[in-house]
Amino acid sequence: MAKRRTKKRTHVPIDQEALKGIPKSMVIRVGQTSLSNHSLNQLVKDFRQIMQPYTAIKLKERKSNKLKDFVVMCGPLDVSHLFIFTQSEKTGNVSLKVARTPKGPTITFNVLNYSLSKDIKKFLKRPKSLNKEDVLNPPLLVLNGFNTKNNNDKESEDNNVEKIIISMFQNVFPPLNPNKTQLNSIRRVLMLHKDSVTKEISLRHYFIDVKDVELSRNLKKLYNAKTHLNKSLPNLHRKKDISSLILDHDINAYTSESEMEDDEDAIVKISENNQNNKIGVIKQSKKPKLDVETGLENEDDEGEGKREVSTNTNNIPYMAPRKKAIRLTEVGPRLNLRLVKIEEGICSGKVLHHEFVHKTDEEIRLLERRHQAKLRLKEQRKKEQEANIAKKKAAKEAKKQRKLERRNARKELEDQDKLNEDQNTSEESDSEIDSEDHFSDVPDDIDSDLFSEVEDAM
């Protein structure tokens, strides 16, 4: 059987060393209340779509699973970040905890409100669904409204808090390399916007759509016919020449005014030059005249309508830059977060910052002393537990040894009894053989000889 061919140019194998340096995440939900909430379950699934491709997309939690179970598995699976969704049993508030494994810190956010992806698609005129190709690369992270400049001593603590939040979210995704990253590979945007007044953080997930602006409707139909096979091709029965279709001289360059409704800020000029990554410049003195009969451009001798194209040192002309419109379509989910606290470790440790509770230095020292006393008590109990476990283990081993000795003694008795029985059976068999030898000379018809005379007399 022939061996299956593997593509080596387009399907380059992933380097395992480079894969180890890529941050991976795990989105989970912990708690009995959160596991029974259906909408929160769907929010977790939508959030995993944001964190693709380096996340556990098919992870299933159980009611018996604790946070410690997931933390233990982070090491073997090379998971660097945990996104933990929980819901309070008393108030019903949903919280999002972002933790860096294995030593922390952990940032706790209160989820004020959220919208699922299916709810956002209902209110969009043209919703977008993500395909497999759209999630092959991580999204582009955009942070807005975060201030890290130290203006004075009062705001230094807030700036340090923002630096921790920024570094946490920046390290969730692999860094971009401008020399190696292709623009076509960036298909999604994750935006975090902080309101300076309310200090709320808005999380949005968008899809990037790039479209040509300076194209007629007929050309767009030709481009779409390649990917959309159900679309019909433009009708050419009224056209005399192919240039009439491409240039669309009959009704000017644009067939519809709605094609130019794009915002000027969203239009970007992109050069198609493959020799050097420079933007070519085209200078046009005057608009060329059009021949009504042929539909072609006429150039005058005076230079009207001539195009001056810039060239490089190798006399290779640069191609004209094309205008493209970048549109962002929200795909969800949508979350509004508020910072609660930052603590050491993974959901356990010293509280570095709390948004609502502020303590004095004396209270902090008192809490530290209590914490140290708890740690000492914990160590003492741990040692006592280890001693008790060792004692129970020794008693269990002694009991096991005594049981084994009794079993061996019982086995020896059974073997001795079996040996005695074998000897008795052998003696009985010998006596039977001797008796058979003693009566071996007696004839078989002795009975008939003894009673033959009596029978005759009768």
Question: Is residue 249 within 8 Å of residue 290, measured between CB atoms?
Answer: yes
210/441: higher pLDDT: 210
Relative to beta strand 200-212, strand 188-194 is antiparallel
Q: Residue 65: is it exposed, middle or buried by C-beta count within 10 angstroms (0-12/13-18/19+)? A: middle
Q: Percentage of residues in the chain with pLDDT exceeding 70? A: 72
Confidence of residue 225 (pLDDT cuts 50, 70, 90): confident
Q: Tens digit of pLDDT for each residue in 226-242?
A: 777 777 777 777 777 77
At 23 the pLDDT is: 92
At 458 the pLDDT is: 53
At 302 the pLDDT is: 42
Confidence of residue 286 (pLDDT cuts 50, 70, 90): very low
Dig out the tokens for 453 from the structure: 């005379």
Question: Is residue 54 within 8 Å of residue 24, measured between CB atoms?
Answer: yes
At 204 the pLDDT is: 94
458: Cα separation from own chain's centroid: 116
Confidence of residue 333 (pLDDT cuts 50, 70, 90): very high
> 107-111, 126-130, 258-262: which range is least confident on average?
258-262
User: How far, in Å, CA of 248 to CA of 217, rounded?
Assistant: 9
At 252 the pLDDT is: 43
Q: Tens digit of pLDDT for each residue in 118-168?
A: 999 998 988 988 888 889 899 999 999 888 666 655 567 778 899 999 999
At 432 the pLDDT is: 66
Residue 243 has pLDDT above 60, yes or no: yes
User: How far, in Å, CA of 161 to CA of 156, rounded?
Assistant: 9
Task: Using a cut of 0.85, tell me whether the model's pTM lies above it.
Answer: no
Average pLDDT, the chain: 78
291/213: higher pLDDT: 213
Other beta carbons less than 10 A from residue 128's beta carbon:
18
Question: Is residue 410 within 8 Å of residue 418, measured between CB atoms?
Answer: no
User: How far, in Å, CA of 329 to CA of 208, rounded?
Assistant: 7
How large is the average pLDDT for residues 387-400?
94
